[in-house]
Every structure is written in structure tokens, then in C-alpha cells.
Structure 1
């Protein structure tokens, strides 16, 4: 049923269950697992100077390091299940890059994680997951993660 599955990850706790789900589906369907991390250009362009992100110098470089770590973590988990992975780190607006990558690579399914945010947060900032669900031509599976 699925030949190419895209897991879009941000390396956060919200991606944890989505990662397990995507790896399980790829294993079940003997599919290629594409893993995408998008360095949000809106985040790093909003800062100037030598600010630090998670103790890393400069927001853009810090976010790239977070992305590399997130991709490596998924790669390791997938290898433990014998699932082949294609990794990509891109810069841009996450929802746009996810939809564009899915279209370019002929993805059959997009898997995203989400966690509950206060209503005020969602109404002000929106959600990458909400935007991908609205914009993608491909089926999208949203995997919820409860954060304690």
C-alpha cells in the first residue's frame, strides 16, 4: 500500500510517537522511510547577532545541529527495525517544505506528530500539522503525543 512514507520531525517530544508509528508502517509495508527536518527560517531570521539556541552558537547553526541530532536518532531507531531511511534537512517554512518534499519525492503518506497546545497558542501561531493537513495532496497521519 505504501512505498514511500515521509516522517516530518522536529526532534521534540511531539515527534516521539510519530517516529515509532512511521517506522512501524515502513517496516510493515517494506517501504522507504523519508525523514525530513526543516530549520524554520522564520525563527532564525527573527534574531540577530550571536544568540544561542539550546547552548549552540547562533540560531541557524543551533537549529541545524538540533536537526542533525533528530535525523540521527530516527536513523538509529529505524536501523534497529531494519528500515531503510532517506534523510533530508531543509531550510524554510516547515509546512511549505514538508508539502513540497512530499510532492517532489512521490510520497504516499505523510506522518506528523502533534501535542496539545492551549487554544490561545494555536489561534495566534497556528500549527505546522494543521497547515500540512490542509495543504497536502497526500494522505496525512497525525499521531498525538500527550505531554505530562
Structure 2
């Protein structure tokens, strides 16, 4: 005999006759006929493999560039220019993944959280800010147009 209890976020917990819990996704009635999409995990796995293949210095440089891109997107939002909200969200997630891989490496080296905070503060003080790649490309294009004119 299986007892069903509805959990949070549409998960349904089932207790078997032996008392083991199993979880099932309880989809709304109109969505039950549609197959579940699982393709996003493969993309994230490939992206994580690429990030794990990077060196610490390259991860730091990429994080600085992506944060510059985020700043440009915020400026576009404030000035009501066109921008894609999904790009903003995806960029934030990519930064978080990179910083997670960086912290995983620190844990492997035996660096404790307190030391990690000190290293992070030291790293932030040492950052040399530069325009992000997309802005640099726009500025180069404007400069070439001015040279032609």
C-alpha cells in the first residue's frame, strides 16, 4: 500500500509498504502528456568541463570581463536601450559557476573560508579595470569610422 503526500514545488512523496520514500514530479494535468526536457544538464556539464579546464588566472580575467559586461547591461537597462534580460541572467550564472570552480580548487588546496575571504579581498584590490570586450569592439569601430571621415 502506497501513501501519497504532496510536497513543496510539485514533488510528491510516496511511502512504500516497506516505508521507503520515493519522489515523483507531480505535473499539472495539462502538462502530464508532454515529455520532460532534460537537455539543459548536458550543456551545463560541457560548460563546467570548459571552466574546469581553465587556469585560475584565466578564470579571474573572465570574471572581471563578465562583470564589466554586466555593468554595461545595467547601464543599458537604466537608459532604456535594448538588451536581453536572459543574457543578464545567464551571465550572472556563468560568473557564479566560475567562482564556484575557483572555490572548489581552494578547498582542494586546503584553504579555509576565512583565508579564502582574505584572498578574495586581496584579489579585488589587485584588479586592473579595463573596458569589457564588447565595449572595446564598439570603441574600435567608432575610432575607425572617425579615421575614415
TM-score (normalised: structure 2): 0.31
TM-score (normalised: structure 1): 0.31
Q: Which has the larger radius of gyration?
A: 2
Larger relative helix fraction: 2
Structure showing greater relative contact order (alpha-carbon pairs closer than 8 Å, 6 or more residues apart): 1
Larger relative strand fraction: 1
